[in-house]
Amino acid sequence: MNINKVKTMEKNKPQSKNSFYFTLLCMCFVTILILSNIAASNTININSFISLSAAELLFPLSYIIGDLIVEIYGFKKARQVIVIGLAITLFSCVFLYITTLLPSGYDEYNTVFGFLTGGVIGITIASILAYLVGSLSNAYIMQRLKEKHKEKKFFLRAMVSTLVGESLDSMIFITFCCIFASQYYSWDKLISFVITITIVKILFELILFPLTKYLRKIIRKKEQG
């Protein structure tokens, strides 16, 4: 291989080590996961058929960030962020549970976080299972399509990976929520939840795609600086 070509490839490869942008994306990703787990205990009933979790207003951002990480830094880095997100989510759940055991004298605190009924614990279990399958599927498909299309068809990669990842995520999440947090989720609304959540997430990413594309361009340019 031509030496100049090798040097050019190395120069254009994003240097994720000590990267401000990679760290920022990672921090945003983890923050969204923690907030989503807390917000998920509240469901929004639009009508008798359409229902969704409050977390769905925020969680789709994690898929957008995941797409950016795969696109710029690769599947390996995305997988590391997903594992880090899992570990911190587990830690936050355990810590919140421990705080409810302290003699504070405020039962309202337990009620807010759902620990008196076990809601947050059950939802967190559901979220973790769905998160692992959905996020890894999204990142894997994104990477495979990128290997096939190179830098072309970014929109196709983003939409297809989101469709598969979000569908699996929603199905697993709602199913386990019905098992572990039946006070918030009922089996008779399983299908409506899955369909609604999947559509909302895909529309969310579709609407924000111009911003995703812009951030991809800016961050890649800064990293290759």
Nearest Cα neighbor of 56 from 185, 158, 146, 217 is 185
Rg over CA atoms, the chain: 19
The one-letter amino acid at 51: S
* Separation between Cα atoms, residue 164 and residue 198, nearest integer Å: 10
Characterize 206-218 residue by residue with b for buried, 16 or more Cβ atoms within 10 angstroms of its Cβ, and e for exposed. eeebeebeebbee
pLDDT for 141 equals 92
Dihedral in degrees, nearest 10, Cα atoms 127, 123, 60, 62: -50
Least confident of 92-96, 142-146, 169-173, 211-215: 92-96
How confident is the model over 5-45, as pLDDT tens digits? Answer: 434 444 444 544 558 899 999 999 988 888 877 776 666 66
pTM over 0.75: no
- What tens digit of pLDDT does each residue of 84-124 get? 888 888 888 778 777 777 776 556 555 555 444 455 566 66
